[in-house]
Structures are given as structure tokens and as C-alpha cells.
Structure 1
Amino acid sequence: MNDAVSTSLVATAPAWRVSDDLVPYDSALAAMQTQATAIRAGEAEETVWLLEHPPLYTAGTSAQPGDLTNPANFPTYDAGRGGQWTYHGPGQRTAYVMLDLTRQHGLIPPRDVRKYVWGLEEWVIRALDQLNVRGERREGRVGIWVADGAGGEAKIAAIGVRVTRWVSWHGIALNVSPNLDHFSGIIPCGIREHGVTSLEKLGLTTTLEDADLALQSAWTGVFSATA
């Protein structure tokens, strides 16, 4: 590939946006869809949006009705992303990633959704490593897993994506200090035999700002054009 073509296919760094207030889920969906459409049209820059939602449950395209065990607990939304049921709420850092996947992003080749999902996993694992937590993948189980301190393991981050005309949206949700009791209204990602955890439950005093810094730093090694 010659230099001119190579340059055109390699993405530059995305814009990072942080919302300080809780963002209603329907507003976030509309904003992501608008941004993804504009990215595809060449009218907006790629963006990573860091935010929190008020307490709610979202259903992915594979969600089973029976895995919503307490439908009166919080509002529910059809997310349109891949995956099953997920909880969002205060104390959870949600990162919505809107990238043009026709371009190379660091370790992620163009038009490779499987590798893109791997990249999101790797991003979270590297961010957790900066917070002195060992995150791991598990075959057949979506998300990032950690030792729970009681001889078992639990999910600390959920991953769910949607790709529209080769632009990604949705992303990851990292449990920093959410109310873990709120997960009791669903079977998270359809997995009954393992629970969920957070950085707080692991004994860390990590703030959302700490998590943001780790995520931004870890991005470079996975998605940066110079990775």
C-alpha cells in the first residue's frame, strides 16, 4: 500500500467528550445515531463519549424476556446493540465509541468487527491494569472478568456494540462504584452462574475521573494510529 492510500485509511485521534450530568438513555441513543450518521457523511469527527445514565435496564438484540426478573424496578429500553440485558446507572462509567471502521485504528484493521470488539476488550483490560486490577476475557462470555476475592470471578465491565454503515456506536460500561443491588432486576448478559462486581467492591477508592484517565491512557496502545 502506498503512503497516500495508507494515510487516508488511518484514523486520527478521536474527540473525547465527558458529560458531568446524568444523561437520559433515549437522549444518548438519539445523539449517538446523529453522530454516527454525521461521521459516515464526513461531517463530524470520531468521538468517545464518557457519561453516566440514571438507573435503567437496556435490552440488546439477543435479550431474553425471562432474564428481566424485576421489570418494575427501573425503566427499560430497547438498545438496538448486540448482547443481552445490561444495567446502567450512577457510578458506572459508560463509554460510547463512535468510529469509522473503514479506517485502520491502531491494532484494529479496517472492516473487521470481530477485531474491533477484541479492541474494546483490550482497551478495558489495559485500563484496569493501570488501576492495578487484572481483567480477563472468558471464552463464551462477553465482557471483562476479574477475581472476586472469594475464589470466584465476576464481571466488571460489559461490552455491547452496533455498527451502522461501518460506523460503530454503543461501547463499554465499567463498574466503578455503582449500586450493585440494582443488577438484581436482570440476569446480566444472560449469565446466571457468575455475578457482577465493581472497583469499589474490590476495595479500590477509584473515582470516575481516575477511570477516565486510565481509559484515555489505555486508548493509545490499542486504537492509536501509532500503536
Structure 2
Amino acid sequence: MSSAPPETVEWRAEPGRIGYRDALDAMTARNRAIAEGEAREMVWLLEHPPVYTAGTSADGAELLDPRFEVVEAGRGGRYTYHGPGQRVGYAMIDLRERGRDVRGFVHALEGWVIATLADIGVTSWRSAGRVGIWTKDVDGREAKIGAIGVRVRRWVTMHGFSVNLAPDLSHFTGIVPCGIEEFGVTSLERLGIDLAPAAFDEALRARFGDFLAALEGKANALP
């Protein structure tokens, strides 16, 4: 495992909460600057106040109780929730230098989260036909612990993933998360793991080199 990102990638971890619209504006500006060669690639880890975000495939019927602000995110996917206790990772990566493979990027992003969760004691996986990161909940059923949603502009990525550390899981009931009704949502806290955001950030950072290696197609870099 690599313990630090290369100098070409800025790594920023926010200690406080960033409003979703503010983060989206900042991410859009950084995406443009990277595409124009004016800024480095960036991984941005943060937490949002409660918000529901709508992807490009969002179905209004799946917005069950809009008790929080609803924002059109511009990423792929359907509705998702972000809020306190959830760690969000935005990856602004230049795919012109890393294979120009959007599917490969999503697969590597999933693998990065899966490997990080494994390092902290949680087995998780991809599930065919269902977007996101899945694990076994306390009742033995499969449940979602992480969401994936990306956008690519001029071959530079935006958005990324979110992982449920200790959010209020009742907040997810205002939507059909990612359009999947038959499975629940879980968190590290629900699984009995108390992990601070900074500790999760460090676990992600330790696997970042493997993530980049996976983008470059190096065998066995990530699950």
C-alpha cells in the first residue's frame, strides 16, 4: 500500500461541513482548471449538512419525503442522501493521463472503497445490477454502506463516493436510495465500529496508490 498521494494530486480533508451547492461550485471550478492545465488533480474529503441530491437518472417518484434541500447534482445515478456522519470523497482525476476509461475509473473507485473498508474490518463488495458498495447488515441481510456517482467533463472526473460512518439512517427514508427499494442502508456505527472521519481519511490515503495503480491497469492493485 502507498502511504501518500503523489505530488501531482492534492489531498484535502475538511474538518467541518461544506454546503452541497458550495462544494459543487468549487468542484466544477477545479474540474475546469484541471482540464485547462491550471491546477493539480485533487481528492477532497468532506461532510455535508443534510441534503438529497438528484443524479441525471433521478425519478421524481423516488423522492418520498423531501424534508431536506434537494439539489440537482449533474452526476450519474438517481437520488442519494448526504449528511452528518457520512464521509464524502470527491475525486477530480485527469483521465487523459490515466487511460481515458470511465468504466475503469468507476471500477477502481469502487475497489478503493472496498479495500479501505476491508482494512478497517468490514467485508464489502460490488453487486451486479446494483450501483454502490454492499455489505452484510446486523440482521444478516445485504445492505448498502457506500454510494458511487461520477461525472466526467473533458476527461476530468467529478463527484465520487460516500461512505456511511455514523449518519442518522432514518434520513435515508425520504428517498429510495439509488432507486433500490428492496435493500436497506447500513453504517459502520450500526455494525459496531466507531471510527472518526480523520481515521477513515487515513485509511483511504493508505490505499490511494493502489487506486491509481488500478487506473493504470496494474494487475491485483485493488479488488
Question: What is the alpha-carbon distance in structure 2 between the residues aligned to residue 220 and residue 176 of structure 1?
Answer: 23
Superposed displacement of residue 219, structure 1: 1.3
Moved more, 14-23 or 118-127: 14-23
Partner residue, 1:37: 32
Q: 1:12 to 1:114 in 2, by over 3 A?
A: farther
Unaligned runs of 5+ in 1: 1-10, 105-109
Tell me the secondary structure at the aligned position of residue 214 of structure 1.
helix
Match of 1:120 among 109, 123, 136: 109
What is the RMSD computed on CA atoms of the aligned residues? 1.3
Question: What is the alpha-carbon distance in structure 2 between the residues aligned to residue 139 and residue 219 of structure 1?
Answer: 25
The question of 1:99 aligning with 2:93 is answered: yes
The question of 1:18 aligning with 2:13 is answered: yes
TM-score normalised by length of structure 1? 0.90
Query: Letter of the aligned partner of 1:215 in structure 2?
Result: L
The question of 1:83 aligning with 2:72 is answered: no
Tell me the secondary structure at the aligned position of residue 19 of structure 1.
strand
Moved more, 49-58 or 18-27: 18-27
The question of 1:138 aligning with 2:133 is answered: no
Question: What is the alpha-carbon distance in structure 2 between the residues aligned to residue 171 and residue 91 of structure 1?
Answer: 17
Superposed displacement of residue 13, structure 1: 4.5
Partner residue, 1:172: 161
Question: What is the alpha-carbon distance in structure 2 between the residues aligned to residue 172 and residue 85 of structure 1?
Answer: 13
Superposed displacement of residue 12, structure 1: 5.7
Question: What is the alpha-carbon distance in structure 2 between the residues aligned to residue 155 and residue 223 of structure 1?
Answer: 25
The question of 1:160 aligning with 2:154 is answered: no
Query: Letter of the aligned partner of 1:119 in structure 2?
Result: A
TM-score normalised by length of structure 2? 0.92
- Deviation string, structure 1 residues 8-39 (Cα, Å, up to 9, x no partner): xxx86511111112101111111001000000
Question: What is the alpha-carbon distance in structure 2 between the residues aligned to residue 209 and residue 33 of structure 1?
Answer: 25
Partner residue, 1:55: 50
Question: What is the alpha-carbon distance in structure 2 between the residues aligned to residue 157 and residue 166 of structure 1?
Answer: 24
Percent identity (aligned) = 51
Unaligned runs of 5+ in 2: 1-5
- The answer to whether the 8 A contact 2:138-2:190 is kept is no
Partner residue, 1:8: none
- The answer to whether the 8 A contact 2:167-2:187 is kept is yes
- Deviation string, structure 1 residues 90-149 (Cα, Å, up to 9, x no partner): 110000000101112xxxxx1100000000000000000111100100000000000012
Question: What is the alpha-carbon distance in structure 2 between the residues aligned to residue 92 and residue 113 of structure 1?
Answer: 25
Equivalent residues in 2 for 1:137-216 (5 A)? Answer: 137-216=126-205
Q: Between Structure 1 and Structure 2, which shows a larger proportion of strand residues? A: 2
Higher gyration radius (CA): 1
Superposed displacement of residue 206, structure 1: 1.1
Partner residue, 1:7: none
- Deviation string, structure 1 residues 52-87 (Cα, Å, up to 9, x no partner): 00001000001100100002x100000000000000
Tell me the secondary structure at the aligned position of residue 126 of structure 1.
helix
Tell me the secondary structure at the aligned position of residue 166 of structure 2.
coil
Moved more, 149-158 or 133-142: 149-158
Number of matched pairs: 211
